[in-house]
Amino acid sequence: MNTLLSSSYGHFDDARREYVITRPDTPLPWLNYLGQDDFFGLCTNTAGGYSFWRDAKLRRLTRYRYNNIPMDVGGRYLYIRDAATGDVWNPGWKPVKTPLDFYECRHGIGYTRITGARRGISAEMLFFVPPGETLEIWRTTLRNTGETARRIQLFSFVEFCLFEALNDMTNYQRTYSIGEVEVDSSDGAIYHKTEYRERRNHYALFGCTHPISGYDTCRDAFVGVHNGLHEPQAVLAGAARNSIAHGWSPVGSHFIELNLQPGEAREFAFLLAYVDQGEPASENPRFTDPFVINKTKGRALMAKYKNIAAVDDAFGRLNVTWTSHLSAFQVTQSPDPIAARMANIWNQYQCMATFNLSRSASMFETGIGRGMGFRDSNQDILGFVHMLPDRARQRILDIAATQLSDGTCYHQYQPLTKKGNAEIGGDFYDDHLWLVLSTCAYIKETGDRAILDAPVGYADKPGGTENLLHHLETSIAYTMKQRGPHGLPLIGHADWNDCLNLNCFSTEPNESFQCAGDVKGSIAESAMIAGLFLYATRELTELYRWLGRAADAMRIAQHHAEMLDAVETHAWDGEWYIRAFDAAGKPVGSNVCDEGKIFIESQAWCVLGGAGAGNGRARQALESVHQHLYTPDGIILQQPAYSTYHLELGEVSSYPPGYKENAGIFCHNNTWVHLGWCQLGEGDRAFEYYLSICPAAKEARIETYRCEPYVYAQMIAGRDAATPGEAKNAWLTGTAAWTFVTVSQGIFGLQPGYDGLRLDPCIPRSWPGFSVTRRYRGATYHITVKNPGARSKGIESLKIDGRKISGNVIPIAVPGSTVKIEAEIS
C-alpha cells in the first residue's frame, strides 16, 4: 500500500502544514481548532462549530446543537447572494448546500481557510485566533473572477449562546426571556450582553470591518420561525430586517452590499470577540447606571483590526508562534515521511488541543459534560511540556490543587473555576499516580526542581501550606495503603479503564450508566495500577537520587520492590499478566476466564514499570499481545470480547463487542505497547504498531475509517465489531500525548533526563538513519543517527561537535548554543 496516497477527500500539504480537503461532503465533519491560549473555536470543514472563552460550558459564545440533523449545522456562516438573480450560496457549502464550482478547506495549524466559488464569484474565509487575543477573526476576500460587474449581498451569521451552555440548551422557560443585544451605531458592532445585567463582567462582540447596510440580531426575524439555516428569510429576501432581539434567540448578522467590477476584490474581516472587563464589580461604573455596557474594549478591538494589514500581521504572528512551538522537536530527515509529518506537525498540534481542552469540547464531547480530567490532563502534559514548559508548570499546579489530602482526586475540574467537579464520581484509584509522571516529565524537560517546593494545598484544605512534592508522596502513600489481598492496588470505581467497574453491586438498572456500588471494603484489585505504580515509583526514585536524597530514593525503591514482588507472585497468568481481581477475588483477564482472557493495559504497564525484566515475562507478555490482540488496525483492548453484560465487570461489558472498552482498538493504550516494544529493542514491531493506528496511514481506507486523517482518534472499531476499522472520537484523546512520547522518545529516542538528553532510538532495521532537531533547556541539538549495521537499537558511538563521548547521554549545553550530534547504532 502506498501510504502517501491522498484520500478521495483531500491530501496533506506538508510544506504549508495543512490538510487540504477538496470536497465538502467528508465522511464525517472534519474538525480543526482555532485558538491556543484562552479563546477557542471548533471549526469544521464546512465552517460549522462554535466558540468559547476558556470554558466550553461556562463561557460559550456561540450556540451549537449536538446530535443535530444533519450532524454539523450552526457555525461561522457567510451567505452570498447575487442581487440580480437571487442565487444564494455559502463558501463552505453549508448550510445552503448550493453546488459550488470550487471548494477547498485548508485546515492549518491554528487556522482554517475555506474557499468557495460559484458563477464568477470566489470567496475565501480565513478563520483564526491571534495569539494572546480573546477573539477570532474571519478574514474575508470576495473576488469577481468573471467578466461582468456584479452586485453582491453578504449576510454574516452567528447564533449566540447565552454563555452558560447547559442552561442554554435546557432551561428555556428562563433563557427565552433573558437574551439582550445592542448594536453600536458608531461602528456597526453587535454586542451580545446577556448576563451583563447580572453583573457578570463580560459580553460578546460580533463586528465587521466593512461598512454595513444593515444587521439582524433576532433569530426569528432573520431566519424565520419555520425556516432552517439553509433558508434564512432575510437572505432569501435580499434585505436585513435591522432586528433587535428581546429574549428568544439572539443572533448576529451583518448585511453588506458590494459592487464588484470584473477582477475586483474586496478584503475585510469579521471579528468575534469575548470581552471580560476584568475589574472588580464594585469598581465598575455600570452598577451605578444599571445597564450601560462598557464598550471601550470592544471599540478598541474594532479599531485595532479595521485595517486588513493589522489582520495580516496577526496571522503572521500566529504562524511565527506555531513555528516556534513546533521547532522544539523536528524530524529533519527520516525514511518514513508519515512519521515525520505526524511528529513534526499534526501530532504536536493535537497535543496542544488536548492540553488546552482536555476531553471537553469536540464533535464527540459537548463541552458541558466534562471539564479537565485529572488523569487525562496529567498525561496530556507528557506530549506538551517540550513546547511550552511554563504553561505545563502552571497546569501541574492547578491539577495538584484538585487532589484531596487523603490522596484521592477530583476526577475532573472546570477550567474556568479550577474547582473539582463533585458530581463526577471519584474513586478512580489510578488518578493520583499520573501526577508523578507529569511532574517528573516537567523537571526532566526543564531542570526546574523548584516546582517541587511550589506551595499547593489540597482541595479539602484550602489555604494549606503543602508543596508539590508533598502531593507526590501522598499519591504514593495512598496506593501503598490501598492494597488488596494479593498486595496489588485496589481499583476503586475504575482505573485507567473507566469501564472496568469491579464494584458494581446494584442489580437495579442504572440510568446514569454508572455502576452503583460502594467501593469501601471492596477487595477488587488492579494489575494495571500496579504497573503504573511500578513506573511512578521508579520515576520518583530517580528524582530523589538526582536531588541527592538517597534515603528517600531508597524508601521509594522499597515500595517498588514490594509491588514488583506482588505483581510477579500474583499477577502472572502463565503467558501474560492478569488484568485484575474482581470483588469476589476472581481473576479478570486470565486464561481461566471465558471471555476477556487477556487485556492490553496490564501487559503494557507491568512491562513499562519494569516487571518481567529478568525472567522473560516482559517479552512473553508482549508476544501474547501480538498473538491475541494485535490486528493491522491496531491492538484490541481485550479478547475475547464480552458477549453479554456482566454485573461484576460493569460498563466494559455494556458495549457491543468490538466497540470502545469492549474489544475496541483504544488507541491510547496501544501507544504503551509501542513503548514496550521499544524498551525490548524491537524497532520493527514498534514501528509497524505505530503505523497501524496512525491516521495519516488511513487515507487509502478513509471510507471505512471516516474520521480525520490528520489527528488521532480515541477508538477504532475492533474485529468483533459490525464496522471494523471505523474510527470515533477524533481529537481529544490521550493517544496524542502518548504517541508523541512513543515517537519522540521511543522510536527517535530523544529522552529528556535530569542530567541531559538520552539518545536511545529504536527504529526499524531497514532504516539507514534519521536526523532530528530538538530544543532542550534553551539549546538546540541537531542530531543525526546512522544505522550502518541495520539494527534497531543500541547507540555505539556518540560525537558532540565532533568530540567522541562515552555512553548515550548528551550533556546539557549552554542555553542559546547549537550542538551537533552524530551517533551510530551499529
Q: Give the active site residues.
A: 498
Out of 54, 57, 375, 559, point to the residue binding ligand NOJ (CB under 6 A): 375
Which residues have CB under 8 Å from 226's CB, separation 6+?
Answer: none
Our finding on whether 498 is near ligand BGC (CB under 6 A) is: yes
Q: In the chain, what is the straight-line distance between the N-terminal and C-terminal CA atoms, in Å?
A: 30
Measured on CA atoms in the order 140, 145, 151, 153, is the torsion positive or negative?
negative
The residue with cell 507528557 is 382
Identify the three-state secondary structure at position 235: helix
Out of 365, 573, 601, 661, point to the residue binding ligand BGC (CB under 6 A): 661
CB-nearer residue toward ligand BGC: 668 or 698:
668
d(CA 22, CA 104): 5
Query: Taking a C-beta distance cutoff of 8 angstroms, is the pair 705, 634 a contact?
Result: no
Our finding on whether 499 is near ligand BGC (CB under 6 A) is: yes
Quick one: what does residue 59 bind among ligand NOJ, ligand BGC, none, with the CB cut-off 5 to 8 Å set by partner type? Answer: none
Quick one: what does residue 495 bind among ligand NOJ, ligand BGC, none, with the CB cut-off 5 to 8 Å set by partner type? Answer: none
Out of 305, 496, 576, 655, point to the residue binding ligand NOJ (CB under 6 A): 496
Quick one: what does residue 698 bind among ligand NOJ, ligand BGC, none, with the CB cut-off 5 to 8 Å set by partner type? Answer: none
The residue with cell 503494557 is 604
Nearest by Cα to 449 from 382, 377, 545: 545
Q: Is 794 exposed, middle or buried (0-12, 13-18, 19+ CB in 10 A)?
A: middle
Our finding on whether 600 is near ligand BGC (CB under 6 A) is: no
Strands (E), 334-417: 372-373, 412-413
Q: How far is the CB of 589 from ligand NOJ (least distance, A)?
A: 15
d(CA 540, CA 545): 9
Using CB under 6 A, which residues numbered 282 to 301 contact ligand BGC?
Answer: none
d(CA 565, CA 606): 12
Quick one: what does residue 497 bind among ligand BGC, ligand NOJ, none, with the CB cut-off 5 to 8 Å set by partner type? Answer: ligand NOJ
Q: Which stretch binds ligand NOJ (CB under 6 A): 43-51, 70-78, 278-286, 369-377?
A: 369-377
Cis ω before 415 (30° cut-off from 0): no
Q: How far is the CB of 661 from ligand BGC (least distance, A)?
A: 5
Nearest by Cα to 407 from 424, 378, 423, 431: 431
Our finding on whether 493 is near ligand NOJ (CB under 6 A) is: no
Q: Which stretch binds ligand NOJ (CB under 6 A): 79-87, 294-302, 492-500, 584-592?
A: 492-500
Q: How far is the CB of 488 from ligand NOJ (least distance, A)?
A: 19
Q: How far is the CB of 365 from ligand NOJ (least distance, A)?
A: 9
d(CA 245, CA 610): 63
Q: Which three cell numbers stand for residue 198?
A: 447580572
Q: How far is the CB of 283 from ligand NOJ (least distance, A)?
A: 41
Q: How far is the CB of 660 from ligand BGC (least distance, A)?
A: 5
Position with the least CB separation from ligand NOJ: 498
d(CA 694, CA 664): 16
Q: How far is the CB of 446 from ligand BGC (least distance, A)?
A: 30
The residue with cell 432586528 is 243
x/- binding map, residues 199-228, to ligand NOJ, per CB under 6 A? ------------------------------
Using CB under 6 A, which residues numbered 623 to 652 contact ligand BGC?
Answer: 651
Our finding on whether 497 is near ligand NOJ (CB under 6 A) is: yes
The residue with cell 470483588 is 583
Query: Taking a C-beta distance cutoff of 8 angstroms, is the pair 715, 407 a contact?
Result: no
Amino acid at 132: G
CB-nearer residue toward ligand BGC: 532 or 762:
532
Quick one: what does residue 376 bind among ligand NOJ, ligand BGC, none, with the CB cut-off 5 to 8 Å set by partner type? Answer: ligand NOJ
Report DSSP state, residue 340: H
Our finding on whether 596 is near ligand NOJ (CB under 6 A) is: no
Out of 76, 192, 359, 774, point to the residue binding ligand NOJ (CB under 6 A): 359
Quick one: what does residue 375 bind among ligand NOJ, ligand BGC, none, with the CB cut-off 5 to 8 Å set by partner type? Answer: ligand NOJ
The residue with cell 503504573 is 532
Our finding on whether 661 is near ligand NOJ (CB under 6 A) is: yes
Using CB under 6 A, which residues numbered 806 to 825 contact ligand BGC?
Answer: none
CB-nearer residue toward ligand NOJ: 216 or 376:
376
Reported as type and span, the H/E element at residue 10 is strand 10-13
d(CA 711, CA 661): 20
Q: How far is the CB of 714 from ligand BGC (least distance, A)?
A: 7
Number of shown-chain residues binding ligand BGC (CB under 6 A): 5
CB-nearer residue toward ligand NOJ: 376 or 427:
376
Q: Which three cell numbers stand for residue 179?
A: 437574551
Our finding on whether 651 is near ligand NOJ (CB under 6 A) is: no
Report DSSP state, residue 537: H
Our finding on whether 726 is near ligand NOJ (CB under 6 A) is: no
Phi-psi domain of 513 (left: phi exceeds 0; alpha: psi -120 through 50; beta: other): left
CB-nearer residue toward ligand BGC: 727 or 823:
727
Which residues have CB under 8 Å from 366's CB, separation 6+?
Answer: 56, 66, 165
Our finding on whether 373 is near ligand NOJ (CB under 6 A) is: yes
CB-nearer residue toward ligand NOJ: 75 or 650:
650
Measured on CA atoms in the order 493, 496, 502, 507, is the torsion positive or negative?
positive
CB-nearer residue toward ligand NOJ: 412 or 751:
412
d(CA 13, CA 665): 28
Which residues have CB under 8 Å from 65's CB, separation 6+?
Answer: 73, 74, 169
Our finding on whether 660 is near ligand BGC (CB under 6 A) is: yes
CB-nearer residue toward ligand BGC: 439 or 733:
733
Using CB under 6 A, which residues numbered 64 to 123 contact ligand NOJ?
Answer: none
Quick one: what does residue 195 bind among ligand NOJ, ligand BGC, none, with the CB cut-off 5 to 8 Å set by partner type? Answer: none
Q: How far is the CB of 651 from ligand BGC (least distance, A)?
A: 6
Amino acid at 99: P
Reported as type and span, the H/E element at residue 396 is helix 389-400
Our finding on whether 499 is near ligand NOJ (CB under 6 A) is: yes
Q: Which phi and psi angles does 534 have, rounded to 5°?
A: -60, -45
Nearest by Cα to 243 from 229, 233, 230: 233
Q: Which stretch binds ligand NOJ (CB under 6 A): 1-9, 237-245, 297-305, 372-380?
A: 372-380
CB-nearer residue toward ligand NOJ: 499 or 737:
499
Q: Which residues bind ligand BGC (CB under 6 A)?
A: 498-499, 651, 660-661
Residues that bind ligand NOJ (CB under 6 A): 359, 373, 375-376, 496-499, 661
